[in-house]
Amino acid sequence: MTVYTTMSSPLGELVLAGERAPAGTVLSALSVAGSGSAVVVGTQWARDDAAFASVRDQLDAYFAGERTRFEVDYAVGGSEFRRRVWQALDEIPYGRTTTYGRIAERIGAPRAAVRAVGAAIGANPVLIVRPCHRVIGANGSLTGYAGGLAGKRRLLELEHGTVARQPSSVAALPPCDGRPVRTDVPMYQL
């Protein structure tokens, strides 16, 4: 049976959905309510706040700057290509960024597969927990995010301890895989 809950966050209301399993609830979706890719709660779904208590606690701790990794069981689904891309996302450390091209290289895909990598990242059903917000453009600019570019910027700033300052360039962000991040490319303004 599909269960869901909602919770407040710095990005707005989050919708969490999952499937009940013998060992607990397996997270299958986490999205920002009202965004273009938000989970639509099904008529047969049951609200079950308790089923997501651990995930909610971990998200609260993340937003408070007290957690850098999640310990959540989530559904893996998707094609073999998507699963490889998503595994690469799971390996991006907290407070770091990388590019679509670097993800393509990491999974052994040709450079020409960057758009397919972007599509797989865009299909990530569990925002925040699977850190697709840590992927930026090759020139250091912010690019698409299912939770909105303002949300992506907020998450990156949170991870870099700059939420209060709200910098106007990527200068405050650490380099991608050791390469310097361009500081002459403006980021999305909140």
Q: How many CB atoms lie within 10 A of CB 9?
A: 19
CB 98 within 8 A of CB 55: no
Tokens at residue 152, please? Answer: 């992506």
- Catalytic entry in 11, 85, 129, 132: 132
Has 132 been annotated as catalytic? yes
What type of residue sits at position 103?
I
Tokens at residue 55, please? Answer: 């995930």
Burial of 111 (0-12, 13-18, 19+ CB in 10 A): exposed
Active site residues: 132
